[in-house]
Each structure stands twice: as C-alpha cells, then as structure tokens.
Amino acid sequence: MATGLYVGRFQPFHLGHLEAVKYILGRVDELIIVVGSAQHSHTLDNPFTAGERITMIRLALKQAGIRPDRFTVIPLPDDEFHKVWVAHLLSQTPSFDVVYTNEPLTFRLLKEAGLRVERIPMFSRKKFTSTEVRRRLLTNGPWKELVPKAVASYLKKIDGDERLRDISKSDKAG
Amino acid sequence: MATGLYVGRFQPFHLGHLEAVKYILGRVDELIIVVGSAQHSHTLDNPFTAGERITMIRLALKQAGIRPDRFTVIPLPDDEFHKVWVAHLLSQTPSFDVVYTNEPLTFRLLKEAGLRVERIPMFSRKKFTSTEVRRRLLTNGPWKELVPKAVASYLKKIDGDERLRDISKSDKAG
Amino acid sequence: MATGLYVGRFQPFHLGHLEAVKYILGRVDELIIVVGSAQHSHTLDNPFTAGERITMIRLALKQAGIRPDRFTVIPLPDDEFHKVWVAHLLSQTPSFDVVYTNEPLTFRLLKEAGLRVERIPMFSRKKFTSTEVRRRLLTNGPWKELVPKAVASYLKKIDGDERLRDISKSDKAG
Amino acid sequence: MATGLYVGRFQPFHLGHLEAVKYILGRVDELIIVVGSAQHSHTLDNPFTAGERITMIRLALKQAGIRPDRFTVIPLPDDEFHKVWVAHLLSQTPSFDVVYTNEPLTFRLLKEAGLRVERIPMFSRKKFTSTEVRRRLLTNGPWKELVPKAVASYLKKIDGDERLRDISKSDKAG
Amino acid sequence: MATGLYVGRFQPFHLGHLEAVKYILGRVDELIIVVGSAQHSHTLDNPFTAGERITMIRLALKQAGIRPDRFTVIPLPDDEFHKVWVAHLLSQTPSFDVVYTNEPLTFRLLKEAGLRVERIPMFSRKKFTSTEVRRRLLTNGPWKELVPKAVASYLKKIDGDERLRDISKSDKAG
Amino acid sequence: MATGLYVGRFQPFHLGHLEAVKYILGRVDELIIVVGSAQHSHTLDNPFTAGERITMIRLALKQAGIRPDRFTVIPLPDDEFHKVWVAHLLSQTPSFDVVYTNEPLTFRLLKEAGLRVERIPMFSRKKFTSTEVRRRLLTNGPWKELVPKAVASYLKKIDGDERLRDISKSDKAG
C-alpha cells in the first residue's frame, strides 16, 4: 500500500488543488496533505489560519466524494533553516513513500534529502493559483469560480474577502 | 452538529485514551484529537515523534472500528507562553464547541479564555497512564496489555522499547 | 474608572502621537501605551530601541504636563503568529477596557478577539507620520518641527540622524 | 540625576520587595523596575503573568505613597543565552547608572558586562521570599501577612491561590 | 600577539574576500573568520549552507598558502535583535582585539558596543561582490573569474549554479 | 582522505577528550570537533561560553602538538527538536565520513539518519568526566590534574572556579 504526500500553503484551497489531490489519489492508496506555513495568518500572502485551511480542505474533499480514510491533513510551520525543513516534515507526519510537488525549492530540498519526489501535471495553472484567488477576493472580482463550492461558502461565512481588504490597508500585512 | 476537542501528548496512545475517545464520540458528532508537545521526541517523557503518535492514533481508531469521518488528528507544538497557548490552539484547529480534558492546567487555561470545557470519567486511570507504559517499555515489563493491539504492533515495528532504553542511558534525555 | 490602551511603534514618537495621547486621556482615566515591535532597532523602519522609544514618550509626556500617574509604557515584541498577538498583548499588560487604534490589522485582530476597539481622529495625518520623520532625519530635512521639543533634543543627543544614515548604507538594514 | 535599576521576577511582589524599592529610592532619583521572566505564567514558579505582576507593583507603590514620576515598570522576557541577557536588558530599558541586585548570577553577568552593580541589604530575607508566599498560597497558609495589603486584595480578586492549586495538580506545571 | 576578526556572509567566498583576509593577516597574528547568517541556505541571497561556506574558505586559504594556525572559521546565526548581535558574537568566538569590516551597520553596532573596529581597503569592490557572483551563477555568466580556483571547483562539485537556478524559480526563495 | 566528526559539550575540555581526539586522529585524516549546546553558558552544567570552549580546545591541541590543518572546531546550538538536530548538524559542518561518539542518544539519532557512527574506547571514563571537573572546580578540589595544562591556565585566567561558585549560589543557574 503506497502513501503519498502533498505539500501546499492552500491560501486558499482552489480547484487546481482539488484536481491535484484527485490526480495523486489515482496513484497512491492514501494521501497526507501538509498545510505549510502553518504559523501564518492575517497577511496578504497568508490570510487564513491553519485551522481555517484544514477546514476548507476537509469540506472540499467531502463535497468531492473523496473517502475520509484516504487522506489526512497535517499543519506544518515553516522552519527558518530551509535545510532542516525536510527533517521537520518527517518528524510531524506518518511515514510516506513519495512526495508530489511542483514547487522547485521544495522539490530540490526533498531530492537532496534522498526522498522520492514526483511532479503533478498542471491543471490550467495560469487560472487556478492562490495568488489569483486572493487578488480577486481583494478586488471583489469573480473569485468563486476558482474554488470548490464548499470553500466559497466557507470563505463567505468567515468574511474572507473583508479580512483581505482590512489586511491590505495595514502596513503590518507584509 | 457538535464538534469536540481532545488534547493529549499520547506518549504513547493507550487503552485509557481509546476509552476517552469512545466516551467523547458518544457526546459529539465529530472529534478533533490534538497531539500536544508535537515538537518533542527522543526524550524519556516524549519518546515518540508527532508523526509516530498520529500513526498510533489512526491505527488504533481504525482497529476499534471508529469511522474516519468522525475524527481528525492535529499536531500542536508547545508554546513557551502558557497564557498564549489557547490562542495558538485556536489558530491551528478547525472550530469546535467543547473541549474534553482532565488536565488541571489545560482545564484552567481554556476556562480563563472563556471556552466550554468538560471532564472525562476516569477509566482505571491508575493503570492506564502513558507514564506506566513508558516505565514498562523501559524495564521490559508487560506493556502490551496497556495499549491497543495495533499500537503494540506498531511500537514493536519501530523498536519503541529499544529507543526508550537508548534514551535512558543518555544525559541529553531530559 | 476606565483604562485605555494605545499601541504604536513610535519610530520615533511625533506630535501626532502626542495629540492622540491627549485625545485618549480625554476619554479614559488611565492609559497604557504599548511600544510594539520592541525587539527591533537599527533598521530603516525601526531605528530606535524599545528603551529609547520609552524614553522619548516619557520625556514628551512630561514636557506636555501629563500627570505620571495617568499613563504607563510597556514594550511588546512582535509575535510571528498574528493570530496569537492579542493573547500575547493581554499577558504583558495590566487589564484595560478599550483599545484605541487606526491600524486596520490591529483593529481587526482585536475585534476578532472580542475586545472593544475605537478609532482616533486624524491629526493632520499626512504630515505627522513616523515615516516622514525618518525620511527627514535621513535626508537632513526639517524633522524637528514634527516631534515634541523634548524628543528633538533626545534624538540629537543620541545622534539619531547619523544612525539612520549609517543604517541606510547597509544591506542588513531590511 | 541618578537612575537605578532593580530586576526581579516578583512572583508575587512582597513586603521585602517593597523595602528594597524604598531603600533604592533613598539612593537614586528614579527607579526602573524590571519584571523578569516576563514570558512565563501559570507555572508553580511563575504563576502570574507579566501584566498581573506590573499591576501588583503599581498598586503596592501607590499605596506606599511613592510618587509615580519616580519609577517605571518594564517587562523583560528571559533570553536562552545568559551571556546575551545584559545586551537584551539594555535594549529594552531607558538608560540607567546603577543596578541593585542580590542575585549572584545577575550580579556576575552585569559585572562581566562592565556595569555598576550594588547589593541591597536583606530585609528579613528568610521570611519575605516569593517562594514562601507561593508555598503559603498553595497550602492555604497565612500568606497575606507577607505582601502589601493592595497586593493581597489583588491576589484574592484574581483567585491567585486557586490558580496555584490548579497548577500544582498539573504535570505541565514545571 | 594581536587577534583580528572578520565578519561576512561569504555567499560565496570570492577573490575580494581573499584579498581582505591577506590584508588583515598583514596586520594581525591570528584571524577569526565569522560566517554570518549561518542559519540560512537555499535562498537567492543565501544559497549555501554554513558548512559549505566554511569548506570554501578553508579550501581557498589552503590554496593561497595561508598557514592553518593563523585562522579559524566560526559560523554565527543572525540575531533578530540587532542590538544584541554583538553580545552573541562575543559569546561564540575566542577573544579578539580588533574587528575589520566595511559594512556600515556592523561597524556602528560594534562601535556602539565599545569595540575597536577598522575598515578594509576596497579591492575593486565593484567587480568582486557576492551579489555579482550569484548573478553570474544564475545567468550562466563568467563567474569563475571572480572566485578562487578552489572555490570554483567546489561550487561545480556541489552544482551551485543549478541550485541557484532552482531556487530562482521558487516563490519560497525570498 | 577520510574526515571524522566528534561531538561534545566540552564543559570543560579534559584529558579524556584529548585522548579521544588522538584516538580518532589515528583513524581519520581530518577531524571536525563540534562544540554542542553552543548557546549555553553561565549555568552549572554549561558554565563556559562556546567561544571559551573553542579557545580551550585550540590551546590544548596546540600544546599536544596536533597539527592545525588536521582539525577544525565548530560551535552548534541545540535544537529543541531532537529529531531535527542531525539535519542542523549537517548544515553547519563541512562534509564528513564518520562520527565518533559514546553518547547513546546522539548515537541513535545519527544511526536513524543513516550516518556511519563509531564508538570511542573509554579512557578511565570514571575519572575524566566534565561533571567531575565541574564538581572539583566548585568545591576547590584538585581539578587541574583532570585537564590539559593549557586548559588549567586558561580556566585560572578567566576565573572559571569563581564563576562556577557564583552560579551555584543562584536560583537561575538551572
């Protein structure tokens, strides 16, 4: 039985992420989804807490009909030392066989540590990026079409767009 | 729908923990299990990594026939500032309605923060403590009778008893 | 008896800050002034130590004839976790009834934590900003007219302008 | 005009501390009181938050009739690096001429850094120690006679004795 | 016998650094080379680990015929508190008489702490900067002419140019 | 050419350490000596700064006639996460082939990370321990016979025994 690992910040979780999860679940039996930069929230790049991001992922995967025994979600804070991040990741997660990522630095750090790493095909990457979702949330653009319906409802419920606009007016938002 | 939260270090997860999980799941629809002191491992009090502890919990709950959509497991590092720990907990977990704990300080910190906290009945607490399991692991005592079968197999597989004995010989074991 | 709280970085303390303090003291009996980002100094955005900023505030308020039993000054380091910052603030300060701030993120974080927050009227905000004072210190502009006289003398005494110019030549000034 | 500095943890502030403050104010014009280990609270050795300790000191000094322009109170977290603590202290406090302390390590670190340090005469030190106050709070002994009246009222108001008893039952109290 | 100290990040060690080392060794008997920002690696500004940078320096100085008893190399992590950095430096290094640096902030912090600091003459500074070496590594420019031969071989061996290109594609490279 | 690594705290460096260094240099061409717990000093268990310990090692090895090109000394702070310590070690040191250690936890962590680890024969371990040297320094016992002559002179010069006695009187000495 193979276990995969998928790392992202999920700020917020969008349809491209959902496609990636489905793609990986076609290749492994079980998936560990790691919510990176878990310590951050309330900044322009990281508006949502780890708890909120875990909630989004669970709502989206439930709505997509993915069986709950096939995935688990783990928050992971950044490590100031990039070279130490892989050891940190290994200590906070159940064991796994392969990591899926397209992020070049993550890919390299995992490779340098001797792990098996594979890339994920791009699902209209141009359109489905968290950066674009955040931009539309901020500017009142059509952001709902970029995220799973369950995530759209949740973001409305927690006033995600209003939070981003408040953050954008702050000089502490870095 | 009510969500409960249960905090512990689970070093390791034993039969008393399993009873507590069943008790709480009789009162709430969904349970968030928080693996505390997640940064620690390889010490006498905290021999196992957060990843290993998450694995134990998932194996034990699966074996006990608990449906995977009824619980989720989240690792949480300690915070040097006790008074800040509750805010840290809230930022790393999905929202919940009630916390179950018998730990007096945890109980007080959550109460001071205005959260709803309830106690768990004791399940032969004398016998089923992680301290006692670690003591038996270290001294080659009958530790297997204190943990779920799935946890016993897992601890054998990762040589948990040998690890504890190595740690006990070290002056860095703190 | 009502206690107010006023948070700022005070890099440096200028006439707009002084007006804000007077405004708040017209509404509360006692004021806690929190010197934020207390760990930083010797950068372009945070040239002065917390100790120096506390000194400026005490000199300026004394010169303005504000009674010393009506205010207290507390340094507070940043918290990497924005969501945890409010709990951190509460643990380091005497209790208070209301926070005064115009900073949008601070406003939101305090509101989300359930505290009472109010805005301060703008006192020619364009002119009186710490950013503008630092810009003039750096470029040898007429910075003295933006700060209380006591602050101007103190900044001269500690060679504040020279420090900013040295920092500006550094690539560690971030 | 001479400024003195007095460092302590004040867990809690007792009559011996008050005598020390009076003694020092007989020798300097102004006193900076540093509340050390500011990050700790809710442990057996450090039950009270920095905010609570600042409150105790201000209440006790007010009651003792000490003029508010003669002292200021600054919280200071510990530094893991003992050798770096003095630099940290200097960055968080207004400038001072002399430190008063009887703590041997603090004395040595300040001396090694080239500062002027003096000892404080003992005021029935046996009796008036924070350790003894905490012991009596915990065991329901006659603790009120060891602290200023204003501190006694405050500790009752925040249920300080109950907090200590809750902490004492915890294995996280360290 | 005089001991000098020379601080740099050495990302990577280039011919200008080598000239500086020779210049200082003409003025002191022994040199402590401090590898700053030791915690960083795998970013655009800090691509190499402290261990790799120590290796470069030792290879370059050996090739340059500098006697191994005349220098020692010490890694030093940054300190978030600039004002505390000097105390941190002093605690991690053997004692020294004079620091050589051209970095304005380092110069000021050392001066403010009362240490003896001297500048180093510029050795075609325009050309020999680590920034320029990193730019050429990234863009496949003629970087080898800027570094000692031993460093060039080492950078090839660890695929330094490829690492920089991978990092440059990442949004975590900051 | 083989490179060995030897980790210790060296509080202080004693004759047993010197024998170990000689033993390892009989098996490898070059030795990296790692000064662990580098952030600590001025405690009963860690009285000396990393800089002082590096100085002791260099003085002792010079006196023992060990060629300076055969060893290098690197300070390394502890990592709160034991499981991450090996990655941290690897990032701060030049590459090596084998680690020599008798410390059971260090041995296990290095083994778990897949490194080659070997034990060092005991050189009258009972007598030559840093704990015993510190005990004798504290109690004015015959400590000089346990350390290299150069270390004895250095400890006298920095008043190492007096420092330990001051620390022992402190309740911050932990």
Q: Nearest Cβ partner of D173 from B80, B83, B105?
A: B105
Tell me the CATH architecture of domain A3-168.
Answer: 3-Layer(aba) Sandwich (3.40)
**Among candidates D59, D86, D3, D72, which has minimal Cα distance to D33?**
D72
For residue D170, pLDDT over 80 is answered with no
Longest pairwise C-alpha distance within chain F: 49
For residue C173, pLDDT over 60 is answered with no
Residue E33 φ then ψ, to 5°: -100, 120
In the predicted model, what is the mean pLDDT of residues C114-135? 86
The answer to whether B155 touches B24, Cβ cutoff 8 Å, is no
pLDDT of residue D127: 75
In the predicted model, what is the mean pLDDT of residues A139-147? 96
How high is the mean pLDDT of chain C? 93
**Among candidates B94, B112, B74, which has minimal Cα distance to B1?**
B94
Contact F82 B41 (CB under 8 A): yes
Please list, residue by residue across D4-35, b when 16 or more beta carbons sit within 10 angstroms of its beta carbon and e when fewer do. Answer: bbbbbbbbbbbbbbbbbbeebbeebebbbbbb
pLDDT of residue C170: 75
Q: F174: pLDDT confidence band, cut at 50, 70 and 90?
A: very low
Contact C50 D92 (CB under 8 A): yes
- Cα(D65)–Cα(D1) distance, integer angstroms: 21
Of the two residues D83 and C75, the one the predictor is more confident about is C75
pLDDT tens digits, one per residue of F75-119: 999 887 888 999 999 999 999 999 999 888 899 999 999 999 999
For residue A125, pLDDT over 70 is answered with no
How high is the mean pLDDT of chain B? 93
Contact A58 B50 (CB under 8 A): no
Q: What is the arrangement of strands in the sheet containing A98-100, beginning at the earlier edge strand?
A: A71-75, A30-35, A3-8, A98-100, A117-118
pLDDT of residue C122: 74
The answer to whether C117 touches C99, Cβ cutoff 8 Å, is yes
Q: Nearest Cβ partner of A166 from C80, C81, C104?
A: C104
Q: Is the peptide bond before C94 cis (omega within 30 degrees of 0)?
A: no
Q: C124: pLDDT confidence band, cut at 50, 70 and 90?
A: low
Q: Is the peptide bond before B12 cis (omega within 30 degrees of 0)?
A: yes
The distance of D86 to chain B (nearest Cα, Å) reads 21
pLDDT of residue D31: 98
What residues does each domain of chain E span?
A: 3-168
ipTM, interface predicted TM-score of the complex: 0.93
pLDDT of residue F103: 86
How high is the mean pLDDT of chain E? 93
CB atoms < 10 A from the CB of A66, how many? 17
For residue A45, pLDDT over 60 is answered with yes
CB atoms < 10 A from the CB of E131, how many? 10
The answer to whether F74 touches F32, Cβ cutoff 8 Å, is yes
pLDDT of residue B91: 95
Q: From chain A, pick out residues whose CB is under 8 angstroms from the CB of C80.
A: 39-40
Which residue is closest to F88 within chain E, CA to CA? E39
pLDDT of residue F67: 96
pLDDT of residue B126: 62
Of the two residues A1 and F88, the one the predictor is more confident about is F88
pLDDT of residue D171: 62
- Cα(E163)–Cα(E92) distance, integer angstroms: 30
- Cα(F36)–Cα(E72) distance, integer angstroms: 17
Subunits adjacent to chain B (3 or more Cβ pairs under 8 Å): A, C, D, F
One DSSP character per residue, B12-69 reads T--HHHHHHHHHHHTT-SEEEEEE-STT--SSSS--S-HHHHHHHHHHHHHHTT--GG
Please list, residue by residue across B8-47, b when 16 or more beta carbons sit within 10 angstroms of its beta carbon and e when fewer do. Answer: bbbbbbbbbbbbbbeebbeebebbbbbbbbbbbbbbeebb
CB atoms < 10 A from the CB of D119, how many? 10
Half-sphere exposure (Cβ direction) of D47: Cα atoms closer than 13 Å: 25
- Report the C-alpha dihedral over residues A157, A163, A165, A166, rounded to 10 degrees: 140
What residues contact residue B33 under an 8 Å CB cut-off, 6+ apart? Answer: B6, B8, B21, B57, B71, B72, B73, B74
- Cα(F155)–Cα(F147) distance, integer angstroms: 10
pLDDT of residue E80: 75
SS3 content of chain D, % helix, strand, coil (to 5): 45, 15, 40
For residue F173, pLDDT over 70 is answered with no
In the predicted model, what is the mean pLDDT of residues A53-67? 98
Residues of B within an 8 Å Cβ radius of C: 79, 81, 83-84, 86-88, 90-91
The answer to whether F138 touches F12, Cβ cutoff 8 Å, is no
How high is the mean pLDDT of chain F? 93
Q: D174: pLDDT confidence band, cut at 50, 70 and 90?
A: very low
pLDDT of residue C79: 82
The answer to whether E100 touches F57, Cβ cutoff 8 Å, is no
pLDDT tens digits, one per residue of F111-147: 999 999 999 987 755 678 999 999 999 999 999 999 9
HEC profile for chain C? CCEEEEEECCCCCCHHHHHHHHHHHCCCCEEEEEECCCCCCCCCCCCCCHHHHHHHHHHHHHHCCCCHHHEEEEECCCCCCHHHHHHHHHHHCCCCCEEECCCHHHHHHHHHCCCCEECCCCCCCCCCCHHHHHHHHHHCCCCHHHCCHHHHHHHHHCCHHHHHHHHHCCCCCC
pLDDT tens digits, one per residue of E43-101: 999 999 999 999 999 999 999 999 999 999 999 998 878 889 999 999 999 999 999 99
For residue D83, pLDDT over 80 is answered with yes
- Cα(B98)–Cα(E45) distance, integer angstroms: 47
CB atoms < 10 A from the CB of A168, how many? 16
pLDDT of residue C174: 40
- Cα(C172)–Cα(C169) distance, integer angstroms: 9
- Cα(F88)–Cα(F34) distance, integer angstroms: 12
- Cα(A153)–Cα(D51) distance, integer angstroms: 40
D/A Cβ contact: 3+ pairs below 8 Å: no
**Among candidates B40, B56, B10, B36, which has minimal Cα distance to B158?**
B56
For residue B150, pLDDT over 70 is answered with yes
pLDDT tens digits, one per residue of D112-123: 999 999 999 877
For residue A33, pLDDT over 60 is answered with yes
pLDDT of residue A23: 96
F/C Cβ contact: 3+ pairs below 8 Å: no
Q: Is the peptide bond before F47 cis (omega within 30 degrees of 0)?
A: no
pLDDT of residue A124: 57
- Cα(A56)–Cα(D56) distance, integer angstroms: 45
| CB contacts < 8 A (A, C) | 35
Q: From chain D, pick out residues whose CB is under 8 angstroms from the CB of C65.
A: none
In the predicted model, what is the mean pLDDT of residues D68-93? 92
Q: B79: pLDDT confidence band, cut at 50, 70 and 90?
A: confident
Q: Which two tokens stand for residue E51?
A: 């261990």
User: What size, in residues, is chain B?
Assistant: 174
The answer to whether C34 touches C6, Cβ cutoff 8 Å, is yes
- Cα(F150)–Cα(C150) distance, integer angstroms: 55
Q: D173: pLDDT confidence band, cut at 50, 70 and 90?
A: very low
Q: From chain A, pick out residues whose CB is under 8 angstroms from the CB of E173.
A: 105
**In Å, how far from its chain's centre is CA D114?**
23
Amino acid (one-letter) located at E65:
G
The distance of D62 to chain C (nearest Cα, Å) reads 9
For residue E40, pLDDT over 50 is answered with yes
**Among candidates C31, C41, C48, C38, which has minimal Cα distance to C118?**
C31
Longest pairwise C-alpha distance within chain B: 49
